[in-house]
Structure formats: C-alpha cells, structure tokens
Structure 1
C-alpha cells in the first residue's frame, strides 16, 4: 500500500514539476507567429498580437491576451475590424472531473469594432470564414462511430449532463462604429460598459450596463440594470427589478429623460411596468407617464397589455391650445402568429374631448385597421380653438369707436401664399397604403359651428378609395343622410357626393355656419355633386351636378318685395313712398328651385316663391370662382287684400315688378329694374309721364311747357334710368 502511495505521489510531483518547468522554460509568446498564420489561413486577414500572451494551469487554466488587432483589407476608413486592449479568460481544473464547467471572470478592456460598407457595396465583413467554410465542405473519411454498450463508462458519461457556471463578465470602455457609405449613415458607440455577476443556472445574477453614442446627428445615452435567473434546464429565464433610463438629442429633438421599470418578468405571469418620458420636439414640449400590466404566454405567441394608462401634458404653439392634457386607458392583445393586435377597450380624452371604443390592426402588406368609436359629445371648434378665433375677429379693438382701423388688403406675399394654398391638392397617397373600415357614433357633434346630434358614420378605405358609406344625423330639427366617395387613384382625385337634408330649419343653420340669416323656413335639400380635384379652386371650377331645394313657411331677409312694388307704383304715379319704416323681409309659404352647377357657375331658371299675396319667379347665376351674383326676379301681387305689413295693396295688385340682384357674395345689391318695369307697363309709362308733367307744372308753372325745360327733364329722368 505504501508503495502505491509513493507511486501516486511521484506522479503528482512529476506533473507539478512538469507544469512548473513548462511555465518557466516555455514562453507562450513564441506561438504568436503560429497563431497569426492559422488566422490568416482561416480568414484571409492579418492578426497582429503586439501585447504579451500569458497563461496559467492551476488551480485554473487561464489565458491573458495583450493588445491585439484584427486587420481590415486595404481601402477601408480604419485599419482594424476588431481591436482589443486586453482580455482574460480562465477555466477551473478540478470541477472538470465532476463534469462541471466553471469559467472564471471574463474581462475585455478597450475593445473596438469597426464595420463599413463602401460606396461600391463591398464590406469589411465580406469573405470572413470563407477558407474555414471551404475546409468544412471538403469531404473527409472518418471512422464509423459504434454505439457503446449501455453499461459502458462512455454511456454512463453521456447520461450525466454537464453543468456550467460563470464567475462574471466585464466589458470596459468598449466602442463600435457601423458606417454605410451607400446610405450615408453612421452609428457609433463611444463608450459601452457591461458587468455580469456570478452566473449559474438556478441562481440569480445581477447585470448592469451603460452606453453613449450617436446615430447620425442623434446623440444618445442609456443605462440599466436587472437581475437574471436561468432555470437549470436552460430552456427559460426570468427577470426582476428591471430599470432602464435613456436620453436622446439632435437639432430638432431633445428627450431629456425616458425611463422604464418592471417588477419582474416570467412567461405566463403578469408583470407591472411603469414608464415616463419628458422632452421636446419642434414646437412641442411633452411630459408623459403611465403604467400597465404585461404578460407573455408560455408559448411566447401572445402578448397582453392590461389596464394601460397614459397621461401626458403637452405645450406648444402648433397645438389648438397652448397647453393640453391627453389621457389614455386601454387593454391590448397581440397574436404573434397572426400578426394581429386587438384593442379590446380604449378610452381617451384630450382636455374635454373624449372618445372610446375598440379596434384592431392586422400586420399585412397593406395593414388592415378596423375600429368602432363613440362619444357623447365632440366639439371640434372648441378643440381646435376656432370658437375663440371667431370671437376675437368679431370683437372690436380699442382705439376707435368700432375698433382700430385695419387694412382689408392682405400683403402681397400673403396673397400669393393664399392663392397657392387654393391650388394645392391634399396629399392622399396614404389612402393607397391602408385597408380601413369602421364606424363612429356621436351623441352631439359640432364642427364649423354646425351642430349635429345622434351622428352615425360608416367609413371605409380600400385600394386608394375613401367611401363614406353612411352619414346619418339630426340637424336643426331635421335630418341629414349623406354618402360620398373620394378616389385617389387618378392624376387628380375624383369625388361624388349625395346628400339628402329634410325638414331642416334653415335660418339657425345659416346663422351658425355662415353667420347669415338671409333665409328662413323649413327646408328640404337634395345634393348630387361630383368633380375632379380637391383644391379649393378646382372644386369651384370643376364641380358639377344639381341641388334641389324646397322651403316652406319662411322668409327672405334683407329684401321687402311688397314694399318695393309699392315704391314702384308710387314712382310711376310721381309720388313718394310713405312706408319707409317697414322691416326688410319677404315672407313666403313655399320656395323651390333647381340649381345646376358646372364650369364654375351655379345657375337656376326655375326659382319660384309663392305666398297667398306674392308670387316671385326668377333666374340667374352666380360665379363660384369670381363670387359674383347676377339674378333677375319677376315679382307680382296676386291678391287684393292687405299685404305683408298690413298695407293696403289693392292699387298694385297684378303689377309685375322686375328686381335685379347683382354684386358679390358679401355685398349683394338689390334694386328695381325700372327700365324693364316701364317696358312691360307701357300704359303706366305714359301715365307716369303725365303725372310727372303735372308735377313740373305745379313747380315751374308756365315754364314747364317750354321745350328746353321738357328736354332737360327728359334727360334727367333718362339719367335716373326711369325712361328710355
């Protein structure tokens, strides 16, 4: 027994002495040429080891490497693909006997990676490993392996799995550059540090990192830490105490801070996330924070976000208001296999504007979006600040009784911009990249000061065509139903609109929308229009179709046709109209017209206004481009009773009086057409001349019979447009 112990001891002494002699007598640096030669054969690149090589064998096998450079081919911006300042790696010896791989601390100092794609498309990664791959593809004759008996030592070793542990990883002051000359982009990491504590399956390990760099003009920093757990079977992992923070800045953006925390992460379990971001983009500053619950299924094919909340304060000159608050609450699921994101519930608010509903997004060549939205009240004017703009323009400014005088003429530059805007087509290219269908339901809706209720809208976008399949709403005691199509596939977009308005109170609608009460009554309007081009000027020039109107029990404000008839009668009689204080309003029991639109003109030849006393027929046109009006009305009283305003009209019954409406949309001018009046009433013209002659005799006496005086009077009356 003693002899056996001596033999074992002798062997150990020999091994120790041999290792000692190897360390003392063999310099590992003499293998540098061999190493560089083998790398050259395998990669075709040069490996330059300018630092020292050192090793140790007990109690661990270790390797230390000094400064080392792996060269690029000629013609690249930097000489090295990879550069290492120093590196260390070790493996414990004794644990290997029990089938446990215990790796010591891995340390990498001052490493750098440079990757470049040149203008011709070549990269410094091209050809790497080609020689090794060719060698691997060369067939070789190998002895056939025979299966070991189940009770053999080899089979026993296969039955015992290896375990692994790592004392730690340390990456200090690493850097990298990825440069693409073809795309003109460059991403650089100026400093990267990473540390991992003792790591082994079944144990928790701590990891942290920090990084700084640039992507083009965007400078960024990030840092984070977490605890990591790998299950012994190596098929799953867990995280806890996750913390991440970042900043980013370029000429147009400044993300002062962005953060994310997560309590834990494990497939099949819920995790709680909190996040926040603060910064600014051009003309907009934001401060947002939120939280949610996250779960990834064990099969990793379903992601769910539950109780997602987001609150954001916004400030900026481009917003409808200088400061706004946005809130969001939602539940979201994502099916990885189907590429389908489902928003099963969401509630959002922007100040007082609130909206809720559900939707989905399916990832495809053309994304498929489906939605159903609803709200009790949407006031777009308040949201966009249009009501305040209207109030400010209507309020007189200080300095004069009616406000400070301002020039109505816009500067030449503003006029040119305005004209350019009127000819600018909207960009509808996005319609060709979407597949959208959904509904919107609103209790109340206000836009352009028009008030609607019980709104239901069904919209679809497919293959560059936007379809408003249905728009139903209550409108000023009446109802509106509309359909519309916009086709963006041509050189210019094409549109078709059908709108049916029934039993609408016209006056409050006009007052709210165009601030004009010229017309009152209950109306039906049927609109069928189409055209090419959506720029304002093209709509005016190209719109074509018809507008049928039918109003009942109303009035035309701004004109008193019975009073004008009485004035015409008084003029013909050479008398002064006594009724100058009457309201400028013409009542009617019915008004109908068909308006034809085309070539920039809206015209009608069948305007008809009826009342028990009054009848008006008219025709004319208005230029949609020049905004001018040219209408002629034939008016007559058709009864012998007290007319509008309680005035006796027996004497003017059955007289047809022509009225002209000319001018522009903002300042129409209404006047009697005395020439047409007298031409149609020849007898009255003669009677009027007699009455005028009698009046001249009363004023001038015998001089009124003088021919020169008569000629002067005739010229004066012709100048007034009374006689030909």
Structure 2
C-alpha cells in the first residue's frame, strides 16, 4: 500500500512539474494571431482580443482572455461581446505546438441577433454554387476544434427586421459537439416584456454536419412558464417537444412530431414554412383538450370579477403597456394556413365538441373558411373574415346555429341566462375588434332567429294571463294549470350599436299564440318588449270566452335585466268586452221597444 501511495505521489509531482514547465515555456499570447486568423479564414468574422492572454491551470488547463468581441463582415455591431473568456485546451496537443480547444466559456456576454449585427455582403461579390460541398478543415499544421461552448449569466438581444428588440436575460447556454458535428444543447433564460415574464428551459440536439446547406435537430424538452399582466391568474405553463429540419437553400423549415401542452390543453401535429419575405407558415394541429378559459382572460369569471380582482392582475398605472397597433402584428408580414381539430373545447364555460378551424391569413387579411363544432346535440358554424391591415380591426361573420342550447350560450356571452330552449340562428354580423364587450356595444347585423321549446324562467305568459283573468272575473275559467314551454318562437333581429330590435315576433304552442315586437339594449342592460297573448281553452261566459280567445292581451316587459317589470292589462280587455256587451244589450232592448215600421203613427196633416 505504501508503494502505491508513493507511486501516485511521484506521478502527481511529475504532472504538476510538467504543467508548470509548460506554462513557463509556452506563452499563450503566441496563439493570439493564430486564433484571429483561423476565425477570419473559416467564417469571415473578426475576432478581437483585448489585453494579454494568461494561463489558468486549475481545475483545467485554460487560457484566460479579457474583453472579447466577434463581429460579422460589414456589420456595425459585434455579434458577441464578453468581459472575459476562458478557453479550456487539451494538454497533449500543446506539446506538438498545436492548439486544441475543448471548451469556450463566456461569462457576462452580450449576444446580438439584430439587423446591425448581421453580415453585409459586399456589392458585386461572387456567389458560389448552391450545390457546393460544405467546408472541411484544411491541414496546415494546426488544428482548431471546439467541443463545448458555454455561456453563463449572459444577455441575448434578438430583433427581427422591422420589429422590436427582445432581451433574453440570465441567458445560460451549454453546447457540446462531437466529431460528427452533432451538438447537445442545454439552455435556460427568461424574458420580461410589457409586465409579462417568460421562463424557458430547453434540452435538445442539433445536427450541423451539412451546415450551411441544412440543419436537423430535435427538442426533447422545452419547459416554459408565462405570467404577468393580461394573463390568467395562474399564468400559462407547459412543455414542447418536436423534431425539425431546415434547408438553407430554400429557407424552408419542417417541424414534425410536435407535442405542445399549455396548462390543461394539449396539442399534437406538425408545422412547415419558410423564412423568405413574405414568410410562410402552415400549422396542422390536433387537440384532445383545449381550454380557452385557462389560456385567455376573457372567461365568464372575468366578466363578473370585482374591480379589486381586476386591479390585482394588472400592473401600476405608470407601467401600463402601450396600445399595440395592428401594424405591429406579425400576421401583417406573413401568410398563414391553420388547420385545427379539437375533441373537447371549453370557451367561456361553454363545452364544445368536434371543434374544427380552417383559416388562412394573407398579409393581415384572415379568412375563416371553417369554424364549426357541436354544443350538445346542436351544431354551429361561424365563417367570416378578420382584417387587421388597417389600424382598427374589422370583423365580418356569418354565423349559423342549429339546435344550440340557449341558456349556456347566453351565459357564455355574459347575458341573462333565464331563458331555456334550443336556438336556431342565421345572420350576418360586422364590427370593430374581436372583443365581446365591444361587439355587444357597437357591432351591427341582422338575423333570423327561432327558439324551440322556449321557457322564459319566471315569466309564463299563459299562466300569467290565466291568473290575471281569475283575479278579475269568475265568469270564465281555464282548467290548464300546468306550465308549458313555447313550442316555437320566431323573430327578425337587427343589431345596431348595442340596440337589438325584435320584429315580427310570433309563435306559440297548442293553446297559446304570441305576436309582438320590442327592443333590447345590450349596453344599458335593459329591455322593452311587448307580446300579444292569445290563450285558448276558456270556459264560461260565451262572450268573454270569445273575447279572450280572439283578442290578444298585450304583455309588456320592460326595465333593467336585474329587475324586469311587466304589465298585463286584462281588466281593460274585459271591461271593454263588458262595455261592448252592455251596449249590445241596450241596443237590443231599444230595438225591442220600438213599434214595427208598419204600425208607426202617421203624422197629422
């Protein structure tokens, strides 16, 4: 045992002595010119190293550099700047005067992916053939290989052409590359923008063997969490995985085996497109569950929450996010094709099934070719268009609904849900913005509406009329004391700046007939509707039975939704009938008291 320890100690002393001698004999500044030349030769980029290079021997043999920058040809801003850089080098190649870099580490670096940092091609510069083979290293007595790249506590500035810069802070990247140029990537960072925070944690692989002609790779895990203003209280979090490829000649990309989760929503599918101008993107997605109420802030609960709850989810007044005009939307600069199928969807508390969307965007003009699904046994279809090419969004829809349950639909639209029945609706709607409150206040449209098996909550026209008649007179009665839904009610509806006008309202059931008109003010949450009621099945005085069966009694409903008032002037109808009956009997009596025409006294000469 003593001999083993002695041998290990001797080896350790030899290694330390050898490294010390190497550090003393080899000046790292001798590699400065070589590194600059190799970077320029292989990529055209300009590497700048400020200050002296120095050795660092623990825990690995490394070269330390001061402020470092890397600039693309013709660019005004460097792609990378760092306060310090560490190069881990292999020991044995140094003995033969070779520099073999196993790892490059940058700390507190700033990486710019902006128009100012992009390479600028010189005018009249020759262009190589597109089918050329990728570059290979040439043997000139030196080798330059980087197996690992690490950025820690850095900043990535990404700015698309014509867009705003996005800062990725606390940017940590670890890239390990093998001899086949297949890299394993680990990345985590965060973005803060407009009072919203996004955290990213990515694990994946990248095959750069054919770069710059093509790239292949996969993301095995991408965890994200988004929180902040104008988002659900619990935020949005989930993960993404995919396999992808990119063609450098056509600028086309393909994403396959795409799996995305967001809260309790899950998607799968594929995507493809290109980065040429205008950009092209095609999405084909399938969702088993899609819960808009946990992805958007426009849920039913959001309409009934208190002002304090709203304020708690928004930032301070001095930090209000600026209004974003449509010109900032990326949809104005791309062509998009979307195919979405969802088995189960929850939107504002409304459960949808067999949901399908087929839509396209052409530089800001979005066309909804198909937007359909089922609610219970009912079916809906809402084709239309959304135009964001102008400063104010223009919306035009042609909804068709068949057999949609009325009560959950009214609740989803933040309207009083006292009505029950199955709704048929066909019409056109147009207005500005896709906001529901804005739609109720300022949209326009027309529609034909039919409600089957309508129940009006506590308002039962047939029972109301029967009870009113019973309170006034005992000369007539109706033995049908059971509440019945209205079999069918039809109306023509016009919407104009929050006022919904009802015309040609008519319908009824076996023993009830309705006819009327009115208006509903969606903005002020009030109504004024009058329905003429005729009920059959009366028994008793023939004259009153005929009057109640043939003459409509007006039922007027008016006032605010929270406190609906109504009037049912049955007494006026019956009083008029009694007056008519009295007049008729008086006329009959007068006629009976008059002598026959032949027996009338002749006038005196």
Deviation readout 1:649-701 (Å, 9 max, x if unpaired): 89943342111111123432222146xx6279623357899xxxxxxxxxxxx
Pairing 1:664–2:605 present: no
- The 3 A distance-change label for structure 1 pair 533 and 390 is closer
Partners of 1:281 and 1:248 lie apart in 2 by 14
> Partners of 1:605 and 1:652 in 2: how far apart?
24
TM-aligned CA deviation for residue 266 of structure 1: 2.9
Which residue matches 1:359?
271
Provide the residue aligned with 1:683 in structure 2: 577
Q: Which residue of 2 aligns with 1:654?
A: 550
Aligned-pair CA distance for 1:495: 2.3
Q: Name the counterpart of 2:464.
A: 564
Aligned partners of 1:665 and 1:298: how far apart in 2? 68
Contact 1:618/1:632 (CA < 8 Å) preserved in 2?
yes
Q: 1:428 deviation in Å? A: 6.5
How do residues 202-213 of structure 1 correspond to structure 2 at under 5 angstroms? Answer: 204-206=100-102, 208-210=104-106, 212=108
Residue in 1 aligned with 2:130? none
Q: Which residue of 2 aligns with 1:261?
A: 175
Q: CA deviation at 1:594?
A: 1.1
Deviation at 1:380, TM superposition (A): 2.0
* Counterpart residue number, 1:247: 154
Structure 1 residues 138-177: aligned runs within 5 Å: 172-174=65-67
Partner SS for 1:678: helix
- Which residue pairs with 2:517 in the alignment? 619
The 1:273–1:533 alpha-carbon spacing in structure 2 relative to 1, beyond 3 Å, is: closer
1:110 aligns with one of 41, 44, 51: 51
The aligned counterpart of 1:630 is 528
1:479-518 alignment runs, 5 A limit = 479-490=379-390, 492-510=392-410, 514=414, 516-518=416-418
Shift in Å at residue 298 of structure 1? Answer: 3.5
Residue 576 of structure 1 and its aligned partner are, at CA, apart by: 13
The 5 Å alignment of 1:584-623 reads 587-598=485-496, 600-623=498-521
Give the match's secondary structure for 2:293. helix
Q: Distance in 2 between matches of 1:230 and 1:302?
A: 18
Is the 2:108–2:153 contact (alpha carbons within 8 Å) kept by the matching residues of 1?
A: no
Q: Which moved more, 1:650-659 or 1:533-542?
A: 533-542
CA distance in 2, matches of 1:498, 1:172: 66
The answer as to whether partners of 2:98 and 2:143 remain within 8 angstroms in 1 is: no
- In structure 1, how many angstroms separate the alpha carbons of the residues matched to 2:573 and 2:66? 102
2-side partners of 1:464 and 1:379: how far apart? 26
1:545 correspondence with 2:455: no
Q: Distance in 2 between matches of 1:602 and 1:186?
A: 59
Q: Does 1:335 align with 2:217?
A: no
The offset of 1:625, in angstroms, is 3.6
Matches within 5 A, 1:183-332: 190-191=83-84, 204-206=100-102, 208-210=104-106, 212=108, 232=139, 238-248=145-155, 255-256=169-170, 258-267=172-181, 270-277=182-189, 288-298=200-210, 300-306=212-218, 308-312=220-224, 319-322=231-234, 325-332=237-244
1:475 counterpart (375, 385, 405): 375
Task: Report SS of the residue matched to 1:557.
Answer: coil
What is the SS of the residue equivalent to 1:596? strand
Equivalent position SS for 2:361: strand
> Relative to 1, partners in 2 of residues 1:535 and 1:529: Cα closer, same or farther, differing over 3 Å?
same
CA offset at residue 262 of structure 1? 1.1
Q: Deviations over 1:189-233 (max 9, x none)?
A: 5555667675789984446454546799xxxxxxxxxxxx95527
Contact 1:258 1:278 in 2 (8 A): no
Task: Determine if the alignment matches structure 1 residue 454 to structure 2 residue 348.
Answer: no
After superposing the two structures, state which structure 1 stretch, 559-568 or 351-360, moved more: 559-568
Partner Cα separation in structure 2 for residue 318 and residue 688 of structure 1: 71
Question: Secondary structure in 2 aligned to 1:658?
Answer: strand
Per-residue deviation at 1:475? 1.6
Measured against aligned partners, the alpha-carbon deviations of 1:232-271 in whole angstroms (never above 9, x if no partner) come to: 2799975424444333499x9894461313142534xx43
Q: 1:204 to 1:575 in 2, by over 3 A?
A: same
Q: Distance in 1 between matches of 2:80 and 2:104?
A: 22
**Partner SS, residue 550 of structure 2:** coil
Give 1:609 deviation, angstroms: 2.0
The answer to whether the aligner puts 1:374 opposite 2:272 as a matched pair is no
Q: CA RMSD in A?
A: 5.1
Aligned in 2, Cα 1:277/1:621: closer, same or farther, shift over 3 Å?
A: closer
Alpha-carbon distance in 1 for matches of 2:304, 2:141: 69
Shift of 1:354: 0.9
TM-superposed deviation, 1:302: 1.0
Classify the secondary structure of the residue corresponding to 1:485: strand
Alpha-carbon separation, structure 1, partners of 2:287 and 2:500: 38
Q: Secondary structure at the match of 1:554?
A: strand
Q: Which one has a bigger Cα radius of gyration? A: 1
Contact 2:85 2:104 in 1 (8 A): no
TM-score by length of 1: 0.56
CA contact (8 A) 2:100 2:145 kept: no
The alignment's TM-score, normalised by the length of structure 2, stands at 0.66
1:255-290 CA-to-partner distances (Å, cap 9, x unmatched) read 4461313142534xx433333447877866666433
The number of aligned residues is 487
